[in-house]
Amino acid sequence: MLHAPSVHQAAGMGLIIVSQAVQAGQICFEEFFMRNLDIQPVLVVGLEGVYGFLLQAFVVLPAVYFIPGEDVGGRLENTLDSFHMIASNGQIVAVICCTMVVMLLYNLTGMTVTSHLGALFRSILETMRTLFAWLVGLIMFYCDVRISGNKLGESWTNYSYLQAAGFVVLVVGTVVYGKATSGMPRTCSTASGPWRTTA
């Protein structure tokens, strides 16, 4: 019989796999909307933002507020307490505003990549985030960046050589794939019939 931590780990990995499948489907639908239905990337980002806000505000947040948990008041997520912290702390407001701007730019650039290069190339390109997260972690560790006295980042270890080699393969593969598909024709279909464009 599996212990509770093992069950939680297995459930967490399962949820990660499901979330990746959902995200893959989302990117493919986005590509279909922009290429076949001729919807602009900005409009797709805006619609996703509206739907996401409505789902979060009227479904997710009310649900987690009434689910028992370890947050304030014995709730899984005390939304009212979160609003109180936002209203009383300017630093939190600044972080939220910065996050909103970054996410807007990220989604716009990602949608543009999907529109011009396809969902598969965007998925491959997004794996580069792992490389940058690793590099930023190393920089923060050796620059002695701390929050509340706790040191951030990670140090270089014997396994870092293997990580670096893996990232080299990742970068080279992304570049090779991008060059291989840059000259390939793309076939799209509209209401009037199929048509072909070259990248």
pLDDT in the model for residue 199:
40
Digit-coded pLDDT (tens) for 173-185: 877 876 766 655 5
- Which pLDDT value is given to residue 27? 87
Instruction: Quote the pLDDT of residue 131.
Output: 85
Per-residue pLDDT of 153-172, as tens digits, reads 889 999 889 989 988 888 88
pLDDT, one tens digit per residue, over 20-42 is 899 888 888 888 888 888 888 88
Identify the pLDDT of residue 180. 67
Say if CB 184 and CB 196 are below 8 A apart.
Answer: no
Percent of the chain past pLDDT 70, that is, above it, reads 86
Instruction: Say whether pTM exceeds 0.85.
Output: no
Give the pLDDT score at 185. 54
Average pLDDT over residues 61-87: 90
Predicted local distance difference test score (pLDDT) of residue 61: 92
What is the rounded average pLDDT for all residues in the chain?
A: 83
Q: How many other C-beta atoms can be found within 10 angstroms of the C-beta atom of residue 61?
A: 14
* Of 197 and 136, more confident: 136
Length in residues, the chain: 199
Would you list the DSSP string of 48-109?
HHHHHHHHIIIIIHHHHHHSB-SSTTSBS--HHHHHHHHHH-HHHHHHHHHHHHHHHHHHHH
The answer to whether residue 127 scores a pLDDT higher than 80 is no
Confidence (pLDDT) at 190: 40
